[in-house]
Amino acid sequence: MIERYVEIASTYGGNIDALILLIAALVGFWLVLCEVVFIGFIIKFREKPGVRGQYITGEEKHQKRWIAIPHYLVLVCDIVIIVFAVNIWYTVKQDLPEPDVTVRIIGQQWAWSFVHPGTDGLLDTEDDIKMVDELHVEKDKVYHFKLEARDVMHSFSVPVFRLKQDAVPGRIITGWFEATKLGSFDIQCAEICGIGHGMMAAKIFIESPEEHQKWVALNDPTEDSKHTSTVAANNAAAN
Amino acid sequence: MSDSHDHHESHGFMSYAFSTDHKVIGMQYMFTGMAMALIGGFFAYAFRMQLAFPGMDVPLYGIVSSAEYNSLVTNHGTIMIFWVAMPVLIAAFGNFLIPLMIGCDDMVFPRLNRLSYQIFLLSAIVLISSFFVEGGGFGGAWTSYPPLSAKAEYNLTPLGSSLWLLAVALEFVAFLLGGINFITTVMNARAPGMTMDDIPMVIWMIVLASILFMASVGPLIAGAVMLFFDQQLGTAFFDPDRGGDPVLWQHLFWFFGHPEVYVVLLPAMGITADVMCVFARKKLFAYRTVLYTAIGTGVLSFFVWAHHQFISGIDPRMANLFTVTTLLISIPIAEMCFVYIATLYGGSIRLTTPMLWALAFLGEFMIGGVTGIFLGASGSDIYLHDSYFVLAHFHYTFFPIAIIGVFAGITFWYPKMFGKMMNETMGKIHFWGTVIPFNCIFIPLFLLGIGGQHRRIYNYEHFPELAGKSMQDMRVFATVSLCIMLIFQFVFLYNFFASLLKGKEAGKNPWKSNTLEWTTESPPPHGNWKELPNCYRGPYEYSVEGREEDYWPQNIPDDEPAGGAA
């Protein structure tokens, strides 16, 4: 259903959509049932000449049944939803698989910075590739991200992944994703962060291994300008 | 209780402005709330126009900059919750109805009541003044998360953010004073014979709402003081660089913020119960069940707050706990809806304007209720959090509460408040002109949210996935619907004021209702009754078998002949 509007490009995106559909089916049933009965009663019990209302207290057992039974059924639906919701939450947020690659994501007013490991595959080494508003990842690899914020709250949101995580100043929050579809997609900041909040857009580029290697080689900061290698110069070159 | 009786003959502005009569104070709350609703509605118009037609010179407003956009959405939310829903639903109806419905001459603390309104008025003035100071009004969302709200270098509103906070804190003080008064009055000043089971549901709900408010607001007031110190004195309660924790604010805010939802919901539920019983000529189905589910909802509402923070950096294990509590709260609320529907069964339903509003409240609120499940379930909240789905969901709860519920109450008690009937035809035009556009505004916003549209963005052109034509068309549709809805509000305003002048005389009890407020003059005199009423039965004895009339007012003794009028 949601895929028609927003593509799915992560391993767990489909699970989240399925959960949304499950909830839609369960609550949709209750909503339609209630509205039909509700509107039906309004039509059926409109004032008619000579017909008085009935005196029903609702305190007797056989009357209370009409409330009690649906209320247990609602409880059952709730339990079903809780089980599926917690299960998916556990997959996305709690049970992080071993990473193939780790990237650092930094939110600040009003841009995203992404630190990619360079050719050595490790963060915080000389060959890290820093990019503003561009995240380059390889398809079918498990990524961990270390999410930070420099100034205020931001929220790293990738709709095609169905992923969202707030970035909190003073903390490093780890999360994961595995991309399943090639292409470039929107990254949003989903938490209000000041007057530039509406412009805090970035892009994620999901690449095949060959494309990604080419990109890494092209942007390797240790290759072209070793003696003047500074972050600023590299960022300027990359952009 | 009646220290002001001696000067109730005097008229003029001063005696009005300093009156301790609960009805006068209730009216003052109502008119202030309505005036603030106009401001809040105008803000919604301005930012919706910007969303539909980015960069447009909005008629009556001008060009909306991104800073102004943030300030408009922030203050729209703040105003509608704190300066419209609360003053009208709790303070206006609470003040007007409590003494009249429990059969006493005034609140037990009339001067505290007066002070409460004055502080409230001051808070509204402080809030409005914050729009005009240097840097403009605060634009960090009504949730005011630090560090954005704490530091002027981040929010760029050095004065606006502090004035906003001060206004909110003052408003809390006003409602604490009011709440003490409401609870004490209902517990101590009921008419002789009125047991706990004879209290009309709307009064119970206002009392429960006051208790919830008083129990939840303390931590937030402490938080507001800390945030104010962070802003103005440079303390570091929420500053991570100097040992503070910004997420702490979120806990304090939502510990209050979630019960607050029920603080405004319960009075609207109460109004609906009373209006529905009168116009369905039915006894409320399972009175005690309604009461217990309301209490159950209130208690549970203290254990769900972190569902607003699933992805905010709290320990992910905590989300599981809060998913359970959040989904459980659907049970008492669903039960309440079932009870209300059951009340209609076997009724003799009259679709007057107040009844239409009451029914619309229930019909629309159910949509708001069920869409909350998507957000309370942690797994699906990961995607839907901070999207327009959230926005549409809570407007489907708050709009029925603060607008539909309020209109149900105003149109129902208008005859008692002013002694005149409102025009029914205009009332129905206003009803359909509000409810249909309301759905046309928010159904597209649900779809936009599912399409990944995130909140508080003044222009979606920076997000290619959200900038497509079909999504923009939905934004335009919602905005046009909003404009139509706003235009129809003038029908209400005209009806409201024209009926004051030329409405039909209402008489004591135009709706043939049972509760005590309908046994006195319309409008009630100072002191409410010449002789205070006694109470002999519950409030919902409609269509009792063996009686000539289909209603049985609470003040008529059992041995009086059947059909005796009040």
In chain B, residues with a C-beta closer than 8 Å to the C-beta of A190 are 385-387, 454-455
Evaluate if residue B182 carries a pLDDT over 60.
yes
What does each C-alpha distance from B506 to B96, B174, B521 come to in angstroms? 17, 33, 9
Q: Give A-chain residues touching B285 at CB under 8 angstroms.
A: 56-58, 63, 67
Average pLDDT over residues B408-424: 97
- Asked: is A101-238 a CATH 2.60.40.420 domain? The reply is yes
Choose from A55, A150, A200 for mutation: most chain B CBs within 10 A. Answer: A55
- pLDDT score recorded for residue A173: 97
The pLDDT of residue B119 is 97
For B288, nearest residue in chain A (alpha carbons): A59
Question: Over the stretch B82-138, which tens digit does the pLDDT of each residue have?
Answer: 999 999 999 999 999 999 999 999 999 999 999 999 999 999 999 999 999 999 999
Residue B563 has pLDDT above 60, yes or no: no
Option in A20, A75, A165 nearest B380 (CB): A20
Residues 142-201 of A with CB under 8 A from B: 151-153, 155, 157, 159, 162-171, 173, 185-186, 188-199, 201
Report chain B residues whose CB lies below 8 A from the CB of A159. 383, 452, 465
Domain residue spans of chain A: 2-94, 101-238
- Phi/psi zone of residue A195: left (φ > 0), alpha (ψ -120 to 50 degrees), beta? alpha
Strand partners, A179: A10
Contact at CB, B323 and A89, closer than 8 angstroms:
yes
Buried b (16+ CB within 10 A) or exposed e, A137-156: bbbeebbbbebbbebbbbbb
Q: Please write the tens of the pLDDT for every residue from B359-369.
A: 999 999 999 99
Alpha helices in chain A (DSSP H): 13-44, 61-89, 209-219, 221-224, 231-238
Which residues of A, range 38-97, sit inside 8 Å of B by Cβ?
A: 38-39, 41-42, 45-48, 51-59, 63-64, 66-67, 70-71, 74-75, 78, 81-82, 84-90, 92-94
A107 touching chain B per CB within 8 A: no
Task: Give the span between the Cα atoms of B293 and B271, in whole angstroms.
Answer: 16
Using one digit for the tens of pLDDT, what is the confidence trace for A120-132? 889 999 999 999 9
The band of A223, judged by pLDDT with boundaries at 50, 70 and 90, is confident
Q: How far is A85 from chain B (nearest CA, A)?
A: 4
Contact A157, A163 (CB under 8 A): yes
Which pLDDT band holds residue B566 (cuts at 50, 70, 90)?
very low
| pLDDT value at residue B14 | 81
Name the least confident of A1-5, A136-140, B350-354. A1-5
User: Rounded mean pLDDT of B463-490?
Assistant: 97
Cα–Cα distance for residue pair A150/B263, rounded to 1 Å: 36
Residue type, position B361, single letter = F
Say which DSSP state A106 is in. E
pLDDT exceeds 60 at position B9: no
* Inter-chain residue contact B139 with A81, CB threshold 8 Å: no
pLDDT band of residue B560 (cuts 50, 70, 90) is low
Question: Average pLDDT, stretch B356-378?
Answer: 97
CA distance A224 to chain B (A): 32
Residues of A in contact with B306 (CB under 8 A): none
Nearest CA in chain A to B464: A186
A47 closest CB neighbour out of B66, B283, B350: B350
Provide the pLDDT for residue B561: 56
Residue of B nearest to A157 (CA): B383
ipTM score: 0.93
The string of pLDDT tens digits covering residues B487-515 is 999 999 999 999 999 999 999 999 999 99
The alpha carbon of B112 is separated from its chain's Cα centroid by a whole number of angstroms, namely 22
Is the distance from CB of B523 to CB of B417 less than 8 angstroms? yes
CB contact under 8 A, A171 and B313: yes
Question: B323, A192: Cβ pair inside 8 Å?
Answer: no
Residues in A touching B466 (Cβ below 8 Å): 186
Does the structural domain B11-519 have CATH classification 2.40.50.140? no
